[in-house]
Amino acid sequence: MTDAAVELRRVSREFRRRRTSLLTPAPVVHAVRDVTATIARGERFGIVGESGSGKSTLLRLVCGLDRPTAGEVVVDGRPVHDQPPRRLGWLRERLQLVFQDPMSSLDPRMRVRDIVAEPLVAQGRHAGKRERVAELLERVGLSADAADRYPHQFSGGQRQRISVARALAPGPDILVADEPVSALDVSVRAQVLNLIDEVVDGFDLTLIFVSHDLSVVRHVCDRVAVMQRGEFVEVAPTEQLFSAPEHPYTRSLLAAVPDLQQALAGRSAQDLAAGVDTEG
Amino acid sequence: MVSAGERVVLGVEGLSVGTARTPLLHDVSFSIERGERVGLIGESGSGKSLTALAVMGLLPEGLSATGDVRLSGRSPARRNLLGVGEREMARLRGDSMSMVFQEPMTALNPTMRVGDQVAEVMLLHRTQPSRAAVRRRVVELLERVDLPDPANLARSYPHELSGGQRQRVVLAIALANDPALLICDEPTTALDVTVQATVLDLVVRGVQERDAAMLFITHDLGVVATVCERVLVMYGGRIVEAGPVREVFTDPRHRYTQGLVAASDLTGAEGRREHAALPTIPGSVPPAGAFPDGCVFRSRCTHATEVCATLPPWTPRGEHPAGAAAYGYSCFHPAGGRGEGDD
Ligand SMILES: Nc1ncnc2c1ncn2[C@@H]1O[C@H](COP(=O)(O)OP(=O)(O)OP(=O)(O)O)[C@@H](O)[C@H]1O
Ligand SMILES: Nc1ncnc2c1ncn2[C@@H]1O[C@H](COP(=O)(O)OP(=O)(O)OP(=O)(O)O)[C@@H](O)[C@H]1O
Ligand code: SF4
Ligand SMILES: [Mg+2]
Ligand SMILES: [Mg+2]
């Protein structure tokens, strides 16, 4: 085994849009461009960027849900980028995903027990399923009787706990989260961030955490990549990135965040806008 | 000299809204003076949008409002808007008061050029002397919201613009007739943070130039603190605390405000990631109709006692030009305030 949990080597993903005219070639969207990074075992790696910058596309490549048009994706020392889904069974055991919208990622017709057990069943691990589900629900702060209920009977925050329980079921060592708290109320967001913190610590997980919210990423991650138009324009340890951003785009992002403390100290909307590079 | 009463643009007294079965807003009272920017915050389902819609006369079918809502725009506030009927409300909307919503496409007509949509609101309310004047004003308004090449852009359709550009067009429409009151309901929640910064700047400039009153709805405390001077905190359809932004956010009294501020702050001392865990509020916001009686927050409050089963009275916290409802809270065991609270 290597020390790297995930290696991205010059990864690109292009999408071809539908042709709008017979005379011009179909436009190409460079969703991910030439991304290289090594995510160490046990690291909490954040990816921030604005809408459409390519965050979700990159995560799909890491999870083997999509294939890059160029470059290599290596997880736990094994290639993911050139494998068909049926050869990626091992990846489902090592790496699990939590999505933004717990309502659309949880099947409304399934009971919570079956949702949480789903990754186990997919791997043919039926023995001790019931006990495992009970243990996981407890771990994420849900009562055991939650197992018999359906997703719509839970609040947004509780549904996100169910997603986390499901992700933990196969005992992965990498947790990938795509905007896991963006749809939640602030009071519940704090609960879910604490839960993620607990399980990442408790199970020694490597975390890849995507968000458009810089303060959330700052709170959660050790190291952060800033993504713009498909590229990693800056990658740095969290505190360094926030205290001494190097790339102009990072600076412009940081300058635009309305922060409570700074606002109370007199930072106005005009000040926020002044720090933004206006071209987009 | 202008007396305090004359400066009030929007006065809301005892506003309650509900369906035939479920009360949704209870006894909401506040007022906003000319040039004042007031934030309305609270988590999802607390009643922020309903408050705005009730003021605008835009409540959906099946909901009804009681209470008193007065607007002093081009003419002084003589009538309760809740009783004037749709024709009169339509005359006020887009003229004396206007509103910007979260999703700009809900306010724009997809089949009409954006310039024509800005023109329409002026033609409808006959606020310009001639069609030529309207055309000039359209370009000027689009320019004021920092849209590039406004004369050209006026000919685009909404789908040809980015989300941020659409929201600027909506803002141009909302400001076209120099309203006395602008209501913004999460106008930047769907936008990227850099675009949000420029739109917030434009909103503030737009209301400042007109000395308009503004009600700004958001659940982002950083945004309210940036944009507003005063804030109303809503939970379970009630205003539970109100006051100047600084006082409410640095020294909250209501236990809900206290919890909300603590849970929001990811960069302050307790939010630093080396720290054990973020402060949280137990449980989650109940659905409409499932809030407890007495103090609405009592089912999640760690300070609740028996007395909280009765409705906590409004406790004024200090003098405020906009009246007692502008600065105070309703909690039996308030936080802060050295000595009065229990921690
Ligand atoms: N299947 C697809 N076909 C065509 N284009 C796509 C496809 N998936 C993504 N894209 C494009 O790739 C770019 C990156 O999209 P992606 O969803 O990765 O962004 P994101 O950073 O996750 O944005 P958000 O913050 O809005 O979730 C966008 O321009 C998007 O339109
Ligand atoms: N037409 C309606 N019929 C019944 N209940 C409604 C109706 N409209 C809103 N409600 C309920 O009233 C409560 C307050 O809704 P409102 O939209 O004002 O919340 P909000 O504070 O704006 O929340 P958000 O931050 O999610 O926009 C919610 O519980 C909502 O479900
Ligand atoms: S009145 Fe009671 S229940 Fe309500 S916030 Fe205050 S202490 Fe908590
Ligand atoms: Mg995404
Ligand atoms: Mg709302």
ipTM of the complex: 0.88
Q: Please give the residue range of the domain that contains residue A52.
A: 42-59+91-245
The angle subtended at Cα A275 by Cα A274 and Cα A278, nearest 5°, is 80
Question: Would you tell me how many other CB atoms lie within 10 Å of the CB of residue A19?
Answer: 11
Residue A201 and residue A255 in one domain: no
Q: Is there a domain that residue A73 lies in?
A: no
* CATH number of the domain where residue B268 is located: 3.40.50.300
Length of chain B: 343
Distance in Å, CA B185 to ligand 5 centroid: 7
Range B70-91 average pLDDT: 90
Range B216-238 average pLDDT: 96
- Cβ-contact B213, B322 below 8 angstroms: no
Task: Report the alpha-carbon distance of residue A14 to residue A28 in Å, rounded.
Answer: 6
Torsion of CA B11, B77, B318, B266, to 10 degrees: 40
- Which of B48, B171, B198, B205 should we substitute to test contact with A (largest number of A Cβ atoms within 10 Å)? B198
Cβ–ligand 1 distance for A57 under 6 Å, the answer: yes
Predicted confidence (pLDDT) per residue in B60-69, tens digit: 999 999 999 9
Name all residues whose Cβ lies below 6 A of ligand 2.
B 19, 24, 42, 44-50, 60, 62-63, 219, 287-288
pLDDT above 50: residue B2? no
pLDDT above 80: residue A157? yes
| Shortest distance, CA B323 to any CA of chain A (angstroms) | 23
Residue A189 and residue A163 in one domain: yes
pLDDT above 90: residue A279? no
pLDDT at B338: 55
Residue A157 and residue A136 in one domain: yes
DSSP notation for B316-336: E-S--TT-GGGSEE--SS---
Task: Report the alpha-carbon distance of residue A167 to residue A156 in Å, rounded.
Answer: 17
Task: Report the alpha-carbon distance of residue B329 to residue B233 in Å, rounded.
Answer: 9
CA A139 to chain centre: 21
pLDDT at A2: 64
DSSP notation for B5-20: HHHEEEEEEEEEEE-S
- Which of A48, A238, A272 should we substitute to test contact with B (largest number of B Cβ atoms within 10 Å)? A272
Range B310-326 average pLDDT: 92
Nearest to residue A39, comparing CAs of A68, A66, A71, A8?
A8
Neighbouring C-alpha atoms within 13 Å toward the C-beta of A217: 29
Question: Would you tell me how many other CB atoms lie within 10 Å of the CB of residue A172?
Answer: 20
* Average per-residue pLDDT for chain A: 91
pLDDT at B37: 98
Which amino acid, A255?
A
Query: How would you label B20-57 residue by residue, b for 16+ Cβ within 10 Å and e otherwise?
Result: eeeebbbbbbbbbbbebbbbbbbbebbbbbbbbbbbbb
Neighbouring C-alpha atoms within 13 Å toward the C-beta of B45: 15
**Residue A25 exposed, middle or buried by CB count within 10 Å (0-12, 13-18, 19+):** exposed
Give kind and range of the element (H or E) at residue B152.
Answer: helix B150-153
Residue A198 and residue A272 in one domain: no
A25 vs A78, which has greater pLDDT? Answer: A78
The strand pair at B64-71 and B37-41 is best described as unpaired
Residue labelled with tokens 């808007």: B81
pLDDT above 90: residue B285? no
Residue B280 token pair: 């949280």
Q: Is there a domain that residue B151 lies in?
A: no
DSSP notation for B108-149: S-TTS-HHHHHHHHHHHTT-SSSHHHHHHHHHHHHHHTT-SS
A143 vs B209, which has greater pLDDT? Answer: B209
* Residues in B 99-138 with any Cβ partner in A closer than 8 A: none
Q: How confident is the model at residue B270 (pLDDT cuts 50, 70, 90)?
A: low
pLDDT at A25: 77
Task: Report the alpha-carbon distance of residue B186 to residue B117 in Å, rounded.
Answer: 22
Q: How confident is the model at residue B41 (pLDDT cuts 50, 70, 90)?
A: very high
Task: Report the alpha-carbon distance of residue B330 to residue A85 in Å, rounded.
Answer: 58
Nearest to residue B281, comparing CAs of B260, B265, B296, B267?
B260
Q: How confident is the model at residue B343 (pLDDT cuts 50, 70, 90)?
A: very low
Residue A259 and residue A178 in one domain: no
Inter-chain CB proximity A276 and B223 less than 8 Å: no
Q: Is the minimum CB–CB distance between B265 and chain A shorter than 8 Å?
A: yes
- Cβ-contact A129, A169 below 8 angstroms: no
Task: Report the alpha-carbon distance of residue A73 to residue A58 in Å, rounded.
Answer: 10
Task: Report the alpha-carbon distance of residue B217 to residue B50 in Å, rounded.
Answer: 11
For the ranges A105-114, B33-42, B196-205, the lowest mean pLDDT is seen at A105-114
Residues of A in contact with B231 (CB under 8 A): none
3 state SS of B72: coil
Our count of domains for chain B comes to 1
pLDDT above 90: residue A143? no
Which amino acid, B263?
A
Q: pLDDT above 90 covers what percent of chain A? A: 69
* Residues in B 293-332 with any Cβ partner in A closer than 8 A: none
Predicted confidence (pLDDT) per residue in B9-29, tens digit: 999 999 999 999 999 999 999
Task: Report the alpha-carbon distance of residue B303 to residue B282 in Å, rounded.
Answer: 12
Residue A144 and residue A257 in one domain: no
Give kind and range of the element (H or E) at residue B156.
Answer: none
Task: Report the alpha-carbon distance of residue B26 to residue B16 in Å, rounded.
Answer: 5
Residue A48 and residue A149 in one domain: yes
Range A114-124 average pLDDT: 89
Residue A130 and residue A187 in one domain: yes
**Which residue's C-alpha comes closest to atom 30 of ligand 2?**
B45
Task: Report the alpha-carbon distance of residue B303 to residue B306 in Å, rounded.
Answer: 10
Predicted confidence (pLDDT) per residue in A166-180, tens digit: 999 999 999 999 999
Range B167-175 average pLDDT: 95
**How does DSSP classify residue B29?**
E
pLDDT at B340: 45
pLDDT above 50: residue B138? yes
Q: Is the minimum CB–CB distance between A1 and chain B shorter than 8 Å?
A: no
Name all residues whose Cβ lies below 6 A of ligand 3.
B 254-256, 295, 297-298, 301, 303-304, 308, 312, 331-333
pLDDT above 50: residue A280? no
Q: Is there a domain that residue A20 lies in?
A: no
Q: Is there a domain that residue B297 lies in?
A: yes
Task: Report the alpha-carbon distance of residue A226 to residue A253 in Å, rounded.
Answer: 9
Our count of domains for chain A comes to 2
pLDDT at B322: 82
Q: pLDDT above 90 covers what percent of chain B? A: 79
**Residue B188 exposed, middle or buried by CB count within 10 Å (0-12, 13-18, 19+):** buried
The strand pair at A206-211 and A174-178 is best described as parallel
Residue A102 and residue A147 in one domain: yes
Task: Report the alpha-carbon distance of residue B42 to residue B200 in Å, rounded.
Answer: 19
3 state SS of B22: coil
- Cβ-contact A220, A44 below 8 angstroms: yes
Residue A150 and residue A229 in one domain: yes
| Shortest distance, CA B337 to any CA of chain A (angstroms) | 19
Q: Nearest-CA residue of chain B relative to A213?
A: B193
| Shortest distance, CA B153 to any CA of chain A (angstroms) | 15
Q: Please give the residue range of the domain that contains residue B225.
A: 4-91+181-329
Residue A181 and residue A280 in one domain: no
Cβ–ligand 1 distance for A51 under 6 Å, the answer: yes
- Cβ-contact B25, B47 below 8 angstroms: yes
Residue A259 and residue A203 in one domain: no
Inter-chain CB proximity A188 and B284 less than 8 Å: yes
SS (H, E, C) chain A: CCCEEEEEEEEEEEEECCCCCCCCCCCEEEEEEEEEEEEECCCEEEEEECCCCCHHHHHHHHCCCCCCCEEEEEECCEECCCCCHHHCHHHHHHEEEECCCHHHHCCCCCCHHHHHHHHHHHCCCCCCHHHHHHHHHHHCCCCHHHHHCCHHHCCHHHHHHHHHHHHHCCCCCEEEEECCCCCCCHHHHHHHHHHHHHHHHHCCCEEEEEECCHHHHHHHCCEEEEEECCEEEEEEEHHHHHHCCCCHHHHHHHHHCCCHHHHHCCCCHHHHHHCCCCCC
Residue B55 token pair: 């003021």
